[in-house]
Copies of this chain bind each other. A is one copy, B any other.
Amino acid sequence: MASDGDRGELLVRLAELVPVIKAVKRDLPFPGPRAGLSLLVVLYRCGAMRLGELADCSEVDQSVISRHVADVEERGWVERAPNPRDGRSWYVRLTPDGERVVREALAHARHSIEGALDGWTDEDVAELSGLLGRFRAGFDAHRDRPLHRDRPPQPMPDTAPVPDTARAQTVKGLR
């Protein structure tokens, strides 16, 4: 088991990562609120999911996700499909345009951290990625409500996406 001092050192290293992530995120040429991007990345990695799952993965309240999804939906980056097995919930998935936006943002961010990896070997980078993944998995495993990043993509219901106008009606209870 890792000693207390070692854990303390790791904790501070993680804390010191926050300004770095903040800087990388700020420099992104992302059109629209940055919070929407985090949501798109989750969908890009894990596939379509319900809003509540999206909230859990993002560690924010459902009400927050609800607004952000509405925002990126208006921008045409995600679309909804009703859950045929539960009329209360929606599936959210990336549109092709949304996937393009995510790819571009990730490519830019990759460029931002490029300099930080000067002199790193492929093995060094893989080692860090692996340890971070292990840490994240361990954290999820010991959590009441895991962030379940490794949740396998749920099967999408084979229904057509719901156009915005039609959805506005169903939201008002006319479904």
Tell me which residues across on chain B come within 8 A of A11, comparing CB atoms. 106, 109-110, 113
Measured CA separation A9–B110 after assembly (Å): 9
Chain B nearest CB from A106 CB (Å) reads 7
A55 to chain B, nearest CB (A): 11
Interface residues of A (CB under 8 A from B): 1-4, 6-23, 26, 38, 41, 45, 57-60, 106, 109-110, 113-122, 124-129, 131-133, 135-136, 138-139, 141-143, 147, 149
Pairwise interchain contact A18-B38, C-beta atoms closer than 8 A? yes
A110 in contact with B8 given A131-B124, A131-B131 (CB within 8 Å): yes
CA distance A125 to B9 in the complex (A): 9
Residues on B with C-beta less than 8 A from A121 are: 2
Contact residues in B for A8 (Cβ distance below 8 Å): 106, 110
